[in-house]
Amino acid sequence: MDKDKREPQDEAVAEELKGVPEELLDREGDETGERGDSGVEDALESLRGDLDAAKQDVLYARAETQNVRRRLEKDVQDARTYAATGFARDILSVADNLARALDALPKEVREDERIKGFVTGIEATQRELDKVFSQHGVSRIAAIGLPLDPNQHQAMMEIPTDEHEPGTIVQEMQAGYMIRDRLLRPAMVGVAKKPD
């Protein structure tokens, strides 16, 4: 009767163990029983190694995701901060033309009562344009009297003079502008040099 009781139980265990690799099965009375235990240990060790590798991969993936997120946030912030760059660069020619128009008016014409209103209108337009530039972080680069800075100034010519140190900006042909901390357009300048 003991045999009868064992057989259904053995059949149930055998049914449950179907599909398990042979090296992982612990066979009682087998000469390979000890090898089976070491096979299980080897399999467990292999699984632990796989688990550690998977954990490491997850950590790397999280770090990469965080780096991508930070990079995208910076790109979005830069896009917001410098969105007006193209438009500002295009509108600089308008500011240049207004400045040239005012510079071209002789003093006697500025004082003429018939033209005074016109001149006042051009000056007001230039002030309004400068105000809009400053609201969007566009600022004029200082040039005259400063040493040449290749990051902000573009030397167009050298002017021989004893009045200024060589490398000092003595003439500005075109104003330069920054948008926040980026160069929008370099100032085109004339630089002092020692006379020959």
pLDDT band of 53, cuts 50, 70, 90: very high
State whether 109 and 170 are in the same domain. yes
Domain count, the chain: 2
Rounded Cα distance between 140 and 186, Å, is 10
In a domain, 16, yes or no: no
State whether 77 and 128 are in the same domain. no
State whether 48 and 98 are in the same domain. no
Which residue is listed with tokens 């003429």? 112
What is the predicted pLDDT for the residue at 191? Answer: 94
**For residue range 85-127, what is the model confidence (pLDDT) as tens digits?**
888 888 898 899 888 888 888 888 888 888 888 888 889 999 9
What is the predicted pLDDT for the residue at 27? Answer: 59
- Calculate the alpha carbon distances from 133 to 93, 103, 153, 174 in Å: 13, 20, 20, 17
Which pTM value belongs to this model? 0.60
Rounded Cα distance between 6 and 95, Å, is 100
More confident residue, 28 or 182: 182
pLDDT band of 40, cuts 50, 70, 90: confident
- Residue 19, SS3? coil
Nearest partner of 110 among 100, 120, 97, 125, judged by Cα: 120
In a domain, 102, yes or no: yes
- Of all residues in the chain, what percent are helix, strand and coil, respectively (each to 5)? 60, 15, 25
